[in-house]
Amino acid sequence: MNPKNPPRASLLATSALSVLVFLAIWELVCRTGLVDPIFLPPPSAVLAKGWAMAEQGTLLGQVLASARRVMTGFLAAALVAIPLGIVLGTSTYARAAFDPLLSFLRPLPSMSWIPLSLLWFGITETQKYSIVFMGTFAPALVYVIEATRNIDPLLIRAAQNLGASRWQVMKEVILPGSLPQILSGMKVILGLAWTCVISAELVAAREGLGFLIMNGKEFFQTEVVVLGMVLISVTVLITDFVFRQIEHRVLRWQK
């Protein structure tokens, strides 16, 4: 057995063990009464709350409501960013035209878009999708542009030599060629989309994990707040896993 590459099972066991130890310490600290449960609820309280919600049948609904908003905003951003990014990655003039706008949009957090989105879309679901969209569009675009730059220029030459026009090069070479990097970038962007869920659900949401967190805060139900946070993390872990499966299927051609 190579000491640099320990078996996967023992690595998994180490991770699992560290999680259990962490939870045990957390629970113990709360049990001793050192901390007021309003400031830090024990994991048992968080679990109990989650279980209660699952029994009521409301838990899944919260996750799905947020998932719907996150996925819609994310897909909209990806569907715009991918073709646009390929065009911008290919044409230096288009890039120069877009760069100032892109630099302006990039650092803006999703939360800063709340006032404008409320003015434009009111208290509709579209407003929520737009928050996620604005939080992910610019970084997604940057990822796609970067991906197009990593295409082997020889492939572009080969395509031109085989008669491809400018558009055909973009569609038949740059798009499929940058797809691996685009997909891995989109995985990151999807995680980013979930960080927008709280800002997205601040107004006119009745369910969702962001709503759960903020509403729990209003009523000082900190275990609900922590439950919401845990559910967001777990959901992102699951979507990551699903994404990787999709990657494997789409990128069959890689070694």
Do residues 135 and 110 lie in contact, with contact meaning Cβ atoms separated by under 8 Å?
yes
First to last CA, the chain: 25
Do residues 155 and 133 lie in contact, with contact meaning Cβ atoms separated by under 8 Å?
no
Q: How far is the CB of 144 from other proteins (least distance, A)?
A: 17
Q: In Å, how far from its chain's centre is CA 124?
A: 22
Do residues 210 and 199 lie in contact, with contact meaning Cβ atoms separated by under 8 Å?
yes
Q: How far is the CB of 24 from other proteins (least distance, A)?
A: 24
Contact segment (CB under 8 A) with other proteins among 133-141, 157-165, 182-190, 240-248 equals 157-165
Does residue 164 touch other proteins according to CB under 8 A? yes
Which of 2, 119, 241, 249 is in the footprint of other proteins by CB under 8 A? 119
With contacts defined by CB under 8 A, how many residues of the chain interact with other proteins? 43
User: What character string, x for contact with other proteins (CB under 8 A) and - otherwise, covers 183-202?
Assistant: -------------------x
Does residue 19 touch other proteins according to CB under 8 A? no
Q: 36 or 240, CB closer to other proteins? A: 36
CA separation for the pair 225, 68 (Å, rounded): 20
Does residue 218 touch other proteins according to CB under 8 A? yes
Identity of the amino acid at 160: Q
Which of 99, 108, 122, 238 is in the footprint of other proteins by CB under 8 A? 122
Phi, psi of 152 (to 5 degrees): -60, 115
Which of 35, 84, 105, 203 is in the footprint of other proteins by CB under 8 A? 203
Do residues 233 and 226 lie in contact, with contact meaning Cβ atoms separated by under 8 Å?
no
CA separation for the pair 89, 95 (Å, rounded): 7
Helix and strand numbers, DSSP H then E, in the chain: 12, 0
The alpha carbons of the chain give a radius of gyration, in whole angstroms, of 22
Q: How far is the CB of 159 from other proteins (least distance, A)?
A: 7
**Contact positions with other proteins (CB under 8 A) in 38-77:** 38
Write out the residues near other proteins by the rule CB under 8 A: 36-38, 118-119, 122-124, 152, 154-155, 157-165, 168, 172-173, 176-177, 179, 202-206, 211, 215, 217-221, 251-255
